[in-house]
Amino acid sequence: MNIAIFRHSLGGSLGTLEKAIVDRKLSYEYIDAFYDDFEDFDLSQYDAIVFLGGSCGVYQADTYSFIDKEVKILEQCLAKDVPVLGICFGSQLMAKALGSKVFRGPQGPEMGWSPLRLTEEGKSSLIAPLGEENTNMLHFHVDTFDLPEGAVRLASSDLYENQAYSYGDKYLALQCHPETSHKILKSHEVNLGGMFSNGSFDIEATRELTKTHMTNLVKQADVFMNGWIDNAFGKEGQMEVA
């Protein structure tokens, strides 16, 4: 099994989600969308795709040429039933590929720790380990999206209704960050420095809450990712376990 992971920031990575992939001895490689040339990306070489977060907006395709390229890859994934996991910016890319509008969130930035409220569908979905009864989640986004037609809403938060959704059996999107590790959080602290100065993000409060919530998030994120692998690859994924 081979997984392509598209990154959109210098500090981006699979973070805590990487453990499940390594434990199962699955192959994976990063593609830095802002740097690498993937004009001739061959989807047939991969068994699943992950799209990670980033600070740009999906509506900025005129500025960032990789956005339209990734949307086309997502459309191919949908047509060929290739499993996809989208996180934050990745969830917004998926929404665009499914025909929905992505836009600046009217409630303002959603930053820091807060729980996911699972819908009834969410409680029996792959994201169940990430619900408010099990863990808090980290959020770092200023954009949101309309729920794509045909998609199933899996979770909401106090600020935004569309926090997670599925489309069919293989397409899963999360606005929040299950992959967050201490290392990734440190990179966010640097990348979002401008938001500290204008009061949009309370870095000290987030650091204190991290002491309380990070350990549990890491545990639940691993449960979530193992479930995603099971769903994506079935018995083939299980065969890779040492």
Say whether 208 is catalytic.
no
Q: For residue 6, what are the β-bridge partners?
A: 31, 51
Say whether 177 is catalytic.
yes
Say whether 56 is catalytic.
no
Residue in the block written with tokens 């290392």: 183
- Of the listed 56, 88, 141, 176, which one is catalytic? 88
- State the Cα–Cα distance between residues 57 and 103, nearest whole angstrom: 8
- Of the listed 8, 139, 141, 177, which one is catalytic? 177
4 and 31 Cβ atoms separated by less than 8 Å: yes
- Of the listed 56, 77, 179, 188, which one is catalytic? 179
Catalytic residues: 88, 177, 179
